[in-house]
Amino acid sequence: MLSGIMHPSGGGAKVLGFVPWERKKAFRMQISIIMGQRSQLWPDLPALESFDLNREIYEIPRADFRRTLDELVSLFGIEDQLKVQVRRLSLGERMKMEIIAALLHRPKVLFLDEPAIGLDLISQKSIRDLLKTLRSSFGTTVMLTSHYLSDIEDLCERIILINRGSVVYDGPLDRVNAELGNLKTVRLTLSSPVSDSALSSFAGFSGSEGDQVLFRVAREDVRTFSRSILDELPVIDFTVEDTPLEEGIERLYRGEAPDAR
């Protein structure tokens, strides 16, 4: 809806002062959208040909086009792939080409819809690193939708959670778990089995699987708790972790945090 592709059944929204679904040319010239499952590149042609088509569509002066393209090609390190047929590129290389195509007219807002879908872990990290660099060098506002929490943790400073059509959280990423308390996750690896009934005698016992045991412990109690379990349990490995983002988001959806809007 914010990119203007879908028309809402009710309500209103503005992006850069425009109503998106009116699809005015002045609006479309200032945004870009990248969808992980759809391509704007011609698969049977080299990406360079699609870039030149975008230059015509967005009415980019040749000098500006050349300068921006050279900057992006250098940043992405894909000069050798520019004249390769798009269908012959890897998924990671294709996504880099998609991002270049979307940025040639230097949009003020870039919408990313699941940009890492289908990519291997190395390619996902490579794309995230490039997007972080672009955000600082191009000054583009990036709106990301993703089910990969690693994308969100690595790229987003602000998140918006929507549940059944209502905003349940809108605020800084680092406050998601802070809003929910100061619990730490203590993860143990045991050298020999201990029954759940014995483990449940320790406050914060959260569950066990094989030789792995989890506890949820208040931040201020971690030191005291650590001493007691190391003295009383056959511990061979011990880690203290922040509450996972997944858990914080799940609890926000259940309405367990104050409204941050």
**CA-to-CA distance for 163 and 132, rounded, in angstroms?**
27
- In the predicted model, what is the mean pLDDT of the chain? 85
Q: Report pLDDT for 261.
A: 42
Q: Report pLDDT for 168.
A: 84
Name the CATH superfamily for 20-156.
P-loop containing nucleotide triphosphate hydrolases (3.40.50.300)
At residue 121, what is the residue type?
L
Considering the chain, what percentage of its residues have pLDDT values greater than 90? Answer: 33
Q: Where are the domains of the chain?
A: 20-156, 179-242
Beta-carbon contacts of 209 under 8 Å, excluding residues fewer than 6 positions away, are none
Q: Does 184 or 177 have the greater pLDDT score? A: 184
**CA-to-CA distance for 100 and 237, rounded, in angstroms?**
46
Mean pLDDT confidence for 137-153: 81
Domain 179-242 has CATH 1.10.246: no
**CA-to-CA distance for 248 and 123, rounded, in angstroms?**
27
